[in-house]
């Protein structure tokens, strides 16, 4: 029997998802034994027309990482959707928009102005700005067009499964590939990670008392957390209650609070509101004044509660 | 008939980096453009975030060198809050950073840059990759490459929480200390890394330096640029990755500037072109004169070769010996041969491994005092480290609460943007004559940009070499010929 064909592709990403695949180490050899990799720009030669020549269904699964912000990326993922039986959104950016998705707090115009007209080190007397079409000495040069915002993969194409994390841990990747090969998959649309919150698997969970009463939020800039006690109990914002587990609690074991890269807990529609609701029950504020005072100690709620998920949230983007 | 050649190395910098080569009417190279469609706007969307979150946000600029961004950002926070980390914290940071440099440099040498030499520059494309290296050096050695990388990455995960996108640096210190048990375990890795670095240099000796053809290639003028060089140095002007002053030498090797990271804006400016999203940094004192080398052009280079040129030596014994041999063989200092970046990378890997050992044998490394909590009002800070691919600058401004109001970042590959375009152009000019474009062009061009280990190809240094495609069009846009490697 022919080995199933697998494609890897990336969009707006940092390459950490590619590295995590490499971190499979020996396991990557097992994967290569079990499947034929027919597209992996990082490792293999290919052409767009090769992909165009595939018949729909020829390729069993496409793993796509990165958010989508260029029209060219959208064309690629639409083509892959057409040709591949299954599409897995790989990593936080494809799943939720990820950290590059924070660009939805600002505008394309602001990004261009800061980069080419305002930065302190610029020497740009003619106010040059990169152009989609430029002519230099009679030569035409093109650059891709940037969309006005960042989109997670499922806002562009239909997605079958999500592999969460920034990046997903190698172990989770190996498990997901194993499940796909055996055909032991949960219902379409599932996130391929445990159905629990981070708090439930957190090594600090047993230090959490029955009730938490946060009087003021603290920042790691101006205080040092006790690494042996629940961060929330100490007043540090930790997205554990609103975040799906499966990460191996890597940040917690590094003595730092969770920032939510695994996305919302099962059933939660919006990470930020889920976390706000959790904080609402953890804060000690019996009066409206006390609630305001507590809220005032929380800096950057948007960038903290939606660190990895703004484009996939109910808020999605700033309206210019 | 003029022609256009599009070389599309499929990259990870937004997935697409592009080289366009234009031929004149007689078929010789007129201009080459190295285009980067990289623009995610980190400088802009970081505004409004608490500054202490930057070591967790900026690593997402690059998932292959997240540790470099993490560390530049952390040092920037020290400067922002004007807080001096305790000695143990500084040493822990440098230990993690040295470990990162070891694994990253070996990865590049064996997986990406090395195949050109270990397998051979004219070997068939299909063999010119890590598999070809394994075939040449044998499975046992390949196993050691994998082992040194895995052990180094285990150290990083233990120390920094996550190896990809760490959670370690805080203003005034680090989040986690080192246990005695781990120290002893890591020391074994450091010793192994030193042995392995020496082996890698010996391999370079046996395979490359013993082969006159390779040495001639390294010294070939088509692969040389007489530019300025920049790198961090310690108080004795020795190469340093984690800390120090930024030193700049001219194409003759003479020091022309040595400045504190905070003063970088007095020395570096960025030129903008309409055809690339990347900016082109140059030395302010010399000025932007276009894509040309020489003392009258402000173009400078960074990364391993530049660091060795900009310093007076290495701070450890074995690396210093390797450093001396390097310049002796290359005909003195500075060395302008772009292909010598690969060798310089191995000299640096040896230094980083020796530095790991030094730090692990320092009794302070297991100290419990790893944080000084900031008390001053933040305003403005600059942090500079040497990333594997060159000088990395983070510059933040905040309000009184430490909320970011402005951010300036000049990343390693940024500095080398103009030199890479120049190197590609020069190699193409040396190769393409009278309209004759052979398959060899592709590897010649690859070999011109690969030494810089550009971040746009950094994923490829883990698994192979960047696929390239050259498309040749006539002046009416008809596709005449396609070459793939």
Q: How far apart are CA B189 and CA B132, in angstroms?
A: 26
Q: Choose from B283, B375, B463, B482 for mutation: most chain A CBs within 10 A.
A: B463
Residue B434, min C-alpha distance to chain A (Å): 19
Give yes or no for a contact between B423 and B417, defined as CB atoms under 8 angstroms apart: no
Which chain A residues contact residue B160 at CB under 8 A?
Answer: 254
Count of CA atoms in the C-beta half-sphere (13 A) of A122: 19
B112 in a domain, yes or no? yes
Q: How far apart are CA B57 and CA B46, in angstroms?
A: 8
Which chain A residues contact residue B280 at CB under 8 A?
Answer: none
B232 in a domain, yes or no? no
CB contact under 8 A, A143 and B150: no
Q: Within chain A, what is the greatest distance between any pair of CA atoms? A: 72
Residue in this structure with the two tokens 């599309």, named with its chain if needed: B8
How high is the pLDDT of residue B124? 64
How high is the pLDDT of residue B6? 66
Question: Rounded to the nearest 10 degrees, what angle do helices A26-34 and A170-182 cross at?
Answer: 20
Q: How far apart are CA B245 and CA B381, in angstroms?
A: 15
* Structural domain harbouring B361: 84-220+337-373
Nearest CB to A137 within list B31, B166, B469: B31
Tally the domains of chain B: 2
The two three-digit tokens of residue B311, written as one number: 């310093």
How high is the pLDDT of residue B368? 97
Helix or strand run (H / E) with residue A151: strand A146-151
> In chain A, whose CA is at the least distance from the CA of B485?
A45
The two three-digit tokens of residue A286, written as one number: 């019996």
pTM of the model: 0.93
How high is the pLDDT of residue A98? 96
Nearest CB to A22 within list B162, B170, B462: B462
b vs e for A193-204, b when ≥16 Cβ sit within 10 Å of the residue's Cβ?
Answer: bbeebbbebbeb
Split at pLDDT 50, 70, 90, the class of A256 is very high
Split at pLDDT 50, 70, 90, the class of A28 is low
How high is the pLDDT of residue A29? 65
The two three-digit tokens of residue A92, written as one number: 């936080």
The predicted model gives A291-310 an average pLDDT of 95
CB contact under 8 A, B464 and A43: yes
B273 in a domain, yes or no? no
pLDDT at A251 over 60: yes
Give yes or no for a contact between B226 and B251, defined as CB atoms under 8 angstroms apart: yes
Q: How far apart are CA A17 and CA A169, in angstroms?
A: 9
Q: A146 vs B389, which has greater pLDDT? A: B389
Contacts of A168 (CB under 8 A, 6+ apart): A17, A20, A90, A91, A176
Q: Choose from B8, B9, B53 for mutation: most chain A CBs within 10 A.
A: B53
B174 in a domain, yes or no? yes
Count of CA atoms in the C-beta half-sphere (13 A) of A283: 24
How high is the pLDDT of residue B278? 82
DSSP state of A265: P
Q: How far apart are CA B223 and CA B214, in angstroms?
A: 12
Q: Choose from B47, B274, B286 for mutation: most chain A CBs within 10 A.
A: B274
Q: Where are the alpha helices (DSSP H) in B81-179?
A: 87-107, 115-118, 130-137, 139-160
DSSP state of B441: H
Q: Are residues B26 and B90 in the same domain?
A: no
The three-state DSSP-derived secondary structure of A154-212 is: HHCCCCCEEECCCCCCHHHHHHHHHHHHHCCCCCCCCECCCCCEHHHHCCCHHHCCCCC
Torsion of CA A124, A127, A131, A133, to 10 degrees: -110
The two three-digit tokens of residue B104, written as one number: 């990253």
Q: Are residues B212 and B345 in the same domain?
A: yes
Residue in this structure with the two tokens 């003063």, named with its chain if needed: B263
Residue B343, min C-alpha distance to chain A (Å): 24
A89 DSSP β-pair partners: A64, A162
DSSP string for residues in B56-104: HHGGGG-SSSHHHHHHHHHHHHHHHTT-PPPHHHHHHHHHHHHHHHHHH
Which chain A residues contact residue B4 at CB under 8 A?
Answer: 139
Sign of CA dihedral B243, B449, B339, B299: negative
b vs e for B235-270, b when ≥16 Cβ sit within 10 Å of the residue's Cβ?
Answer: eebbbbbbbbbbbbbbbeeeebbeeebeebbebbbb
Q: Are residues B7 and B132 in the same domain?
A: no
> In chain B, whose CA is at the least distance from the CA of A76?
B15
Q: Are residues B369 and B421 in the same domain?
A: no
Q: Where are the alpha helices (DSSP H) in B266-303?
A: none
> In chain A, whose CA is at the least distance from the CA of B463?
A43
> In chain B, whose CA is at the least distance from the CA of A44?
B467
**How many other C-beta atoms lie within 10 A of the C-beta of residue B416?**
33
Residue B207, min C-alpha distance to chain A (Å): 25
Residue count of chain A, please give it: 320
B406 in a domain, yes or no? no
Q: How far apart are CA A38 and CA A45, in angstroms?
A: 9
> In chain B, whose CA is at the least distance from the CA of A93?
B60
Q: How far apart are CA B432 and CA B468, in angstroms?
A: 17
B243 DSSP β-pair partners: none
Sign of CA dihedral B342, B279, B170, A208: negative
Residue in this structure with the two tokens 């940040």, named with its chain if needed: A251
Q: How far apart are CA B404 and CA B45, in angstroms?
A: 10
How high is the pLDDT of residue A43? 58
How high is the pLDDT of residue B71? 98
The two three-digit tokens of residue B170, written as one number: 């805080």
Q: Are residues B353 and B462 in the same domain?
A: no
CB contact under 8 A, B43 and A115: yes
Q: Are residues B422 and B369 in the same domain?
A: no
B276 in a domain, yes or no? no
Nearest CB to A167 within list B43, B62, B164: B164
Q: How far apart are CA B307 and CA B310, in angstroms?
A: 5
A5-99+148-182 architecture in CATH? Answer: 3-Layer(aba) Sandwich (3.40)
Distance between first and last Cα of chain A: 54
Torsion of CA A270, A274, A276, A280, to 10 degrees: 160
pLDDT at A132 over 50: yes
Cα A61 to the center of its chain, rounded Å: 20
The predicted model gives A23-51 an average pLDDT of 71
Count A/B contacts: CB-CB distance under 8 Å: 257
Which chain B residues contact residue A236 at CB under 8 A?
Answer: none
Q: How far apart are CA B332 and CA A277, in angstroms?
A: 67
Q: How far apart are CA A204 and CA B396, in angstroms?
A: 33
> In chain A, whose CA is at the least distance from the CA of B397?
A120
B109 in a domain, yes or no? yes
The two three-digit tokens of residue A210, written as one number: 């029955």
Residue A102, min C-alpha distance to chain B (Å): 6
Nearest CB to A122 within list B48, B77, B272: B272
**Alpha carbon distances (Å) from A124 to A116, A120, A259, B416:** 8, 11, 38, 19
Residue in this structure with the two tokens 């796909």, named with its chain if needed: A180
Q: Are residues B466 and B359 in the same domain?
A: no
Q: How confident is the model over A47-79, as pLDDT tens digits? A: 567 788 999 999 999 999 999 988 778 888 999
- The CATH number assigned to the domain holding B123 equals 1.10.645.10
No. of H helices and E strands in chain B?
16, 16
Which chain B residues contact residue A119 at CB under 8 A?
Answer: 43, 270, 408
Residue B161, min C-alpha distance to chain A (Å): 4
How high is the pLDDT of residue B35? 72
Residue B466, min C-alpha distance to chain A (Å): 7
> In chain A, whose CA is at the least distance from the CA of B131?
A43
Q: Are residues B160 and B88 in the same domain?
A: yes
How high is the pLDDT of residue B466? 33
> In chain A, whose CA is at the least distance from the CA of B263?
A121
Q: Are residues B97 and B210 in the same domain?
A: yes
The two three-digit tokens of residue B49, written as one number: 């975030």
**How many other C-beta atoms lie within 10 A of the C-beta of residue B16?**
21
How many Å is the Cα radius of gyration of chain A? 22
Which among B153, B154, B134 has a CA at the least distance from the CA of B144? B134
Domain ranges of chain A: 5-99+148-182, 112-146, 198-312
B431 in a domain, yes or no? yes
**Alpha carbon distances (Å) from B9 to A192, B17, B260, B418:** 32, 6, 37, 17
Give yes or no for a contact between B384 and B391, defined as CB atoms under 8 angstroms apart: yes
CB contact under 8 A, B41 and A114: yes
Sign of CA dihedral A120, A122, A125, A127: negative
CB contact under 8 A, B50 and A219: yes
CB contact under 8 A, B15 and A73: yes
Nearest CB to B49 within list A19, A73, A303: A303
How high is the pLDDT of residue A46? 60
The two three-digit tokens of residue B191, written as one number: 């010793």
DSSP state of B125: G
The mean-pLDDT minimum among A35-49, A180-194, B468-482 falls in B468-482
Give yes or no for a contact between B58 and B73, defined as CB atoms under 8 angstroms apart: yes
> In chain B, whose CA is at the least distance from the CA of A305?
B49
Q: Is the peptide bond before B334 cis (omega within 30 degrees of 0)?
A: yes
Q: Are residues B35 and B153 in the same domain?
A: no
Q: Are residues B216 and B93 in the same domain?
A: yes
Q: How far apart are CA B317 and CA B30, in angstroms?
A: 47
**How many other C-beta atoms lie within 10 A of the C-beta of residue B213?**
10
Which chain B residues contact residue A302 at CB under 8 A?
Answer: 48
**How many other C-beta atoms lie within 10 A of the C-beta of residue A301?**
15
Mean pLDDT by 10 residues, chain B (485 residues): 55 50 81 71 94 96 90 98 98 98 88 71 62 73 85 96 97 98 98 97 90 85 91 98 98 98 98 88 97 96 97 98 96 92 95 98 98 98 96 97 96 87 82 69 68 50 33 48 43
Residue B298 sits at φ, ψ, to 5 deg, of -75, 5
């Amino acid at each position: 029997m022919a080995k199933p064909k697998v494609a890897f592709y990336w969009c707006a990403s940092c390459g950490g998802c590619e590295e995590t695949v490499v971190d499979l180490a020996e396991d990557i050899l097992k994967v290569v034994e079990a499947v034929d990799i027919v597209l992996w720009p990082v490792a293999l030669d290919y052409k767009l027309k090769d992909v165009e020549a595939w018949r729909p269904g020829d390729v069993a699964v496409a793993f796509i990482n990165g958010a989508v912000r260029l029209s060219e990326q959208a064309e690629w993922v639409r083509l892959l959707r057409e040709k591949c039986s299954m599409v897995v959104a790989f990593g936080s950016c494809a799943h939720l928009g990820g950290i590059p998705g924070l660009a939805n707090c600002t505008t394309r115009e602001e990004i261009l102005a800061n980069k080419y007209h305002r930065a302190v080190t610029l020497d740009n007397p003619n106010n040059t700005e990169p152009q989609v079409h430029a002519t230099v000495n009679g030569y035409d040069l093109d650059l891709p067009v940037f969309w006005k915002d960042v989109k997670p993969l499922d806002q562009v194409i239909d997605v079958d499964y999500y592999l969460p994390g920034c990046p997903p841990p190698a172990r989770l990747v190996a498990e997901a590939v194993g499940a796909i090969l055996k055909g032991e998959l949960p219902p379409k649309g599932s996130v391929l990670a445990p159905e629990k919150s981070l708090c439930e698997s957190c090594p600090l969970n047993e230090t959490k008392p029955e009730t938490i009463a946060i009087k003021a939020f603290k920042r790691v800039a101006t205080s040092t957390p006790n690494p042996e006690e629940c961060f929330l109990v100490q007043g540090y914002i930790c997205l554990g209650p609103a975040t799906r587990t499966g990460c191996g609690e890597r940040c917690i074991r590094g003595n730092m609070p969770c920032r939510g890269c695994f996305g919302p807990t099962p059933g939660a529609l919006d990470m930020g509101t889920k976390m706000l609701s959790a904080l609402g029950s953890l804060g000690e504020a019996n009066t409206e004044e006390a609630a305001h005072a507590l809220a005032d100690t929380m800096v950057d709620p948007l960038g903290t509660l939606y660190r990895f998920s703004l484009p996939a949230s109910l808020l999605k983007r700033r309206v210019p | 008939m003029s022609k256009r050649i599009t070389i599309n190395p499929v990259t990870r910098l937004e997935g697409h980096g592009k080289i366009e080569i234009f031929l004149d009417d007689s078929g010789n190279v007129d201009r080459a453009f190295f285009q980067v469609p990289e623009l995610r706007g980190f400088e802009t969307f970081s505004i409004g975030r608490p500054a202490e979150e930057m070591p967790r946000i900026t690593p997402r600029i690059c998932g292959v060198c997240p540790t470099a961004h993490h560390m530049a950002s952390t040092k920037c926070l020290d400067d922002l809050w004007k807080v001096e980390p305790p000695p143990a914290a500084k040493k822990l940071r440098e230990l993690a950073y040295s470990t990162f440099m070891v694994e990253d440099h070996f990865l590049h040498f064996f997986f990406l840059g090395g195949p050109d030499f270990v397998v051979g520059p004219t070997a068939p494309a299909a063999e010119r990759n890590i598999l070809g290296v394994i075939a040449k050096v044998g499975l046992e050695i390949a196993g050691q490459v994998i082992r040194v990388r895995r052990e180094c990455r285990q150290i990083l995960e233990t120390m920094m929480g996550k190896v990809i996108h760490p959670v370690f640096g805080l203003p005034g210190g680090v989040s986690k200390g080192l246990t005695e048990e781990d120290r002893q375990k890591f020391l074994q890795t450091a010793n192994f890394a030193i042995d392995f670095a020496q082996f890698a240099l010996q391999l370079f000796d046996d395979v490359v330096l013993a082969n006159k053809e390779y040495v001639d290639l390294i010294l070939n003028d088509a692969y040389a640029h007489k530019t300025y060089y920049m790198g961090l140095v310690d108080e004795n002007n020795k190469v340093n990755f984690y800390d120090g002053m930024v030193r700049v030498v001219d194409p003759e090797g003479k020091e022309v500037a040595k400045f504190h990271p905070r003063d970088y804006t007095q020395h570096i400016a960025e030129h903008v072109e309409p055809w690339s999203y990347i900016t082109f940094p140059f030395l302010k004192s010399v000025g932007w004169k276009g894509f040309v080398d020489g003392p009258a052009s402000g173009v400078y280079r960074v990364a391993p070769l530049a660091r060795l040129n900009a310093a007076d030596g290495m701070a450890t014994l074995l690396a210093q010996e390797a450093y001396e041999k390097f310049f002796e063989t290359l005909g003195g200092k500075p060395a302008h041969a772009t292909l010598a970046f690969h060798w310089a990378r191995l000299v640096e890997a040896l230094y980083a491994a020796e530095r790991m050992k030094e730090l692990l044998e320092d009794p302070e490394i297991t100290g419990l005092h790893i944080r000084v909590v900031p008390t001053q009002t933040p305003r403005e800070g600059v942090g500079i480290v040497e990333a594997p691919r060159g000088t990395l600058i983070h510059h933040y401004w905040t309000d009184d609460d430490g909320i970011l109001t402005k951010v300036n970042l000049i990343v390693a590959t940024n500095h080398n943007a103009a030199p890479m375009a120049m190197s590609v152009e020069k190699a193409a000019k040396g190769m393409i004559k009278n309209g004759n474009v052979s398959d060899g062009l592709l590897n010649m061009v690859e070999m011109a940009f690969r030494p810089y280990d550009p971040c746009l190809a950094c994923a490829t240094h883990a698994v192979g070499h960047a696929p390239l495609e050259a498309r040749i069009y006539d002046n009416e846009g008809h596709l005449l010929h396609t070459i793939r490697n």
